Amino acid sequence: MRAPRTLVLAMLASVGIGCASASGPAPDATDATQATESAEAPNPDPWRGFNRAMFTVNDSLDRWLLGPVARGWIFVTPETVRVHIEQFFDNLNFPGYFVQPLLQGDPKQSGVALARFGVNTTVGLAGFFDPANHYLGLSRRPEDMGQTFGVWGSGPGPFLVLPVVLPASNVRDASGFPVDSVLNIGDSQVISYVVPGLWPVTLLRTINRRALVDRDLRELRAGSLDWYSAVRDGYLQRREVLIRNDLDGGQETRSDDLYDLDEEPDPE
Amino acid sequence: MTIYTISMKSLIRSSAFALALLLLASAWPARADERIASGRAFMTTTVNDVLAILNDKQLKGEPRLKKLESIALERFDFPRMALLVLGKNRKELTPEQLEQFKVEFKQSLSNTYGRRIDGYTANEKIEMGEARLEPNKDVTVKTRVVGGAAGDGVQIDYRLREVEGGGWLIIDVIPAGVSLIQNFRSQVQEIVTQKGVSRLIETLREKNQQPADPATAAK
């Protein structure tokens, strides 16, 4: 089977446009893929150049600094200890986990968050243990301002990466960052600026959390073809699931043709 | 009189039609249930095969990894997954490039999957969940990996497509609601628009030739 001439032409054209589009969107209609994509949905990453640069900074920091430190931490602690430390910090996110569902019109979930906090802070020894989940079946559900904006109908907006503070985000979720910094205390870095004595604690949390995902992170990185866009898409998909609070919800945002190839005949 | 006969005829006809509809309606859910059950059975077998390997204490290192990879090779529809991942971009590839892409993609994914499963520890269990019928007649089966670091475990959905002549093959893996096909499609789109088709195949080839990260490789 030989390639039809139009196909070869389209291919050559797209290679040229591929280079051109690094500096700006290609208005040329010969690049069918790009044309249809922009017609279907707005470009999720209009600030690609900036984001990629920031992503490289963060990724290098992770590879050469945070990752090795986290593996040192893994070497000196058993996994259960790391899990309990993470649970302690997660328990401190209670204000956010309580307030956001209220804003989302889901007071029942606020009740769950309240019960979890009450039980885990007392019986769970300051949150290091999670009896609320183990014995009462009240499972953890992280909430933040960006999710509430999503529930209110906000789309994700452009993808956004900032050094250190936002390894992967978008305009919607970044807008919630100031509120999250106050409410989701366990996740907050900002609190250390207010109370500098907390920096060692913040650092410990960062290292501990990175240690918990070390294996997954490196496997995903090794299995990816383009790490940046893998993270960008993974973030978008994951946030959609969190906003809908439904693991099946993500599929509604996937393009219709994801599982079905339009078997149109060759133009020959 | 004639009017009566006609209406009688049409009455019989319409009631026959209604009866046919009724039969269809009652037959449909049964067939849907059957389909769901058959997809779920396929996934149960696959999970059991994987667990048998993981629980075999004698099997270690490279042979264990190879066995897990071979399960992936049997149960995944790699050529279709490659096409789904390319999406509209597949028209940018020459037939030769398409074949190269399929070969490299298959190797890359079976390696990744094998390593991934190989990383499971003995106290991690795979639970079978519900299954549902998709609008295009695919079946999605839910599974959950429990006993790991994450308290509630991780939900992993498998989307299955019926093979011509019966049977099923996996066409997507969806851990925690993130579709692998969707994720790879974004990456392919990025590489193709930024660097071109030839770079896409080179990237895959380089990935496949790289030795596994010693820290994540089989112990």
The model's pLDDT over A148-170, given as tens digits with 9 standing for 90+, comes to 999 999 999 999 999 988 999 99
Rounded to two decimals, the pTM is: 0.81
Question: Concatenated DSSP letters for A50-72?
Answer: HHHHHHHHHHHHIIIIIHHHHHH
Residue A248: per-residue pLDDT: 64
Residue A185: per-residue pLDDT: 93
- The tokens describing B153, both together, are 């475990």
Contact residues, A window 176-215, toward B, CB-based 8 Å cutoff: 212, 215
Q: How far apart are the CA of B28 and the nearest CA of chain A, in angstroms? A: 23
- The tokens describing B94, both together, are 């020459």
Smallest Cβ distance to A133: which of B151, B159, B216? B151
Contact A247 B177 (CB under 8 A): yes
pLDDT at B180 over 80: yes
Which residues are bridge partners to B169 per DSSP? B161
Share of chain A above pLDDT 70, in %: 78
- B49-98 pLDDT, tens digit per residue, is 988 888 888 888 888 888 888 888 889 999 999 999 999 888 889 999 99
Smallest Cβ distance to B115: which of A36, A219, A226? A219
> Is residue B192 within 8 Å of residue B92, measured between CB atoms?
yes
- A57-73 pLDDT, tens digit per residue, is 999 999 999 999 999 99
Q: How far apart are CA B132 and CA B20, in angstroms?
A: 26
Contacts (Cβ under 8 Å, ≥6 apart) of B64: B53, B56, B118, B218
Smallest Cβ distance to B176: which of A36, A233, A238? A238
Beta-strand runs (E) in A5-124:
none
Q: Which residues of chain B have a CB within 8 Å of the CB of A87?
A: 151
Q: Which residues of chain B have a CB within 8 Å of the CB of A241?
A: 176-178
The alpha-helical segments, DSSP class H, found in chain B are 2-55, 61-75, 78-86, 95-118, 180-195, 197-209
| Mean pLDDT over the full length of chain B | 83
For A18-39, what is the mean pLDDT?
38
pLDDT at B107 over 80: yes
Q: How far apart are the CA of A144 and the nearest CA of chain B, in angstroms? A: 18
Contact A222 B213 (CB under 8 A): yes
Among B90, B154, B182, the residue to mutate for chain A (most A Cβ within 10 A): B182
Nearest one of A142, A87, A210, A243 to B151, comparing CA atoms = A87
Most confident stretch, A159-173, A244-258, B112-126, B154-168: A159-173
At A262, the pLDDT band (50, 70, 90 cuts) reads low
